Amino acid sequence: MLNYGLVPAQWDPFAELRQLQSQMNRMFDTGARSGRNGNWPPVNMWLGDDSVVVTAEMPGVAQDDIDLTVRENTLIIAGKRNSATDDEEAAWHRRERPLGEFSRSIRLPLRVDPDKVEARAKNGILEIEMGRPDAERPRKIKVKAS
Amino acid sequence: MANEMTKTGGDVARTESEDTRDTGPTFRPATDIFEKDDVVTVVIDLPGVTPDSVDVSVENRSLTVRGTIDAPAPEGYRRIYAEYAPGTFERAFSLPDTIDAGAIDAAHRDGVLTLTLKKSEAAKPKQIKVKAA
C-alpha cells in the first residue's frame, strides 16, 4: 500500500482508488489515439514466487499480430492494430480507438528464461507468464546440526 | 467521471439491476463510428469483458452499451504495478431517427464489440418518378 503522507485519522481508503481513476481517465481521454508513443498497450504486472506475469489491455489485436520478445529482464510487446475499416468511402463520425504499429518495452523485476514464457490472449487481454531461470531461483539452504 | 457509482456501504443505489456486486469505477470506452451506404458501424473497445456480460440496450432512441471487466488476478500472483483497473465500461449514444432501432446486430471478438446499425426504410432516399401530364 502506498503512503500518501497522511496521519491515520485522515487516511481515506478511497483516495488510492480515486487517484487510480484519474490516471485512468487521463489515459482514456488523451494520448490514447496513437500507439507510437510507447505507452500502448496499458499493462499490469504481477509477481509470483519464481515468475512474473504481465497483463496488457489490447482489444482488437489478433493473437497472430502480437510479437513478443523477451531478453534478460526486458519484455517487448509489439504489433499492429488494424483500422475498423479499410473502406476509403466510409464516412467517419468518430475515431477514438488507437491504431497502427505499436511497440512497448517493459522492464521486469527479475531476469526471465526465454524458454519459460507462455502467452495467452482472452477477450482482448494478453497475459504473458515468464519464469525465472533455474540457476537464479532462490535456493533453500539447510542448516546442518553439527 | 460522471457515471461513477457511489458506494453506499452494502446497499446499492441502483434498483432495477439484479447485479448487486460493487463493479468499481466506470470507464468510457474508446469508440469508432463510421457509415457506409445504409449501414452505420459502431466499434467499441471493451478489453477484459466477456461476450456474455456485454449488455446492449435501446431505450427512447438511446443506445447504451455496458460491460463489466472480468479479468481475475493470475492465481498465486500479487499485483506490483498497474496501469489499468477493473471496473465497468459504459457509454450511451443517441440514435438519430434515420436508424432502425429494431435491427441492430452485435458481435464481440477479442475484446471489441461491433454494432451494425441499419438505416430505416423510411430514411432511404427514394426516387420519385415525374409523370408526364
pLDDT digits (tens, 9 = 90+) for A13-47: 777 777 777 777 666 654 444 445 678 899 999 99
pLDDT tens sequence across B75-123 = 889 999 999 988 999 999 999 888 888 889 999 999 999 999 998 877 6
pLDDT at A141 > cutoff 70: yes
Reference A96, options B68, B30, B74; nearest CA is: B30
Structural domain includes residue A5: no
C-alpha cell at B84: 489499468
Interface predicted TM-score (ipTM) of this complex, two decimals:
0.71
Phi, psi torsion values for A126, nearest 5 degrees: -100, 135
The domain that contains B95 carries what CATH number? 2.60.40.790
pLDDT tens sequence across B41-72 = 999 999 999 999 999 999 988 999 999 988 78
Strand A125-131 with A51-57, pairing: antiparallel
Structural domain includes residue A67: yes
Closest-CA distance of chain B to residue A69, Å: 20
pLDDT at A40: 87
Structural domain includes residue A93: no
Q: What is the DSSP letter of A112?
A: -
pLDDT tens sequence across A61-119 = 988 889 999 998 999 999 999 888 888 888 999 999 988 899 999 999 999 999 999 99
Structural domain includes residue A108: yes
Residue A103 structural domain: 12-84+98-135
Structural domain includes residue B33: yes
Contact B31 A97 (CB under 8 A): yes
Closest-CA distance of chain B to residue A48, Å: 4
Structural domain includes residue B49: yes
Of A14, A45, A89, the CB nearest to B36: A89
Tally of domains within chain A: 1
Of B1, B78, B85, the CB nearest to A47: B78
Contact A27 B76 (CB under 8 A): no
CB B31 within 8 Å of CB B44: yes
Structural domain includes residue A115: yes
Tally of domains within chain B: 1
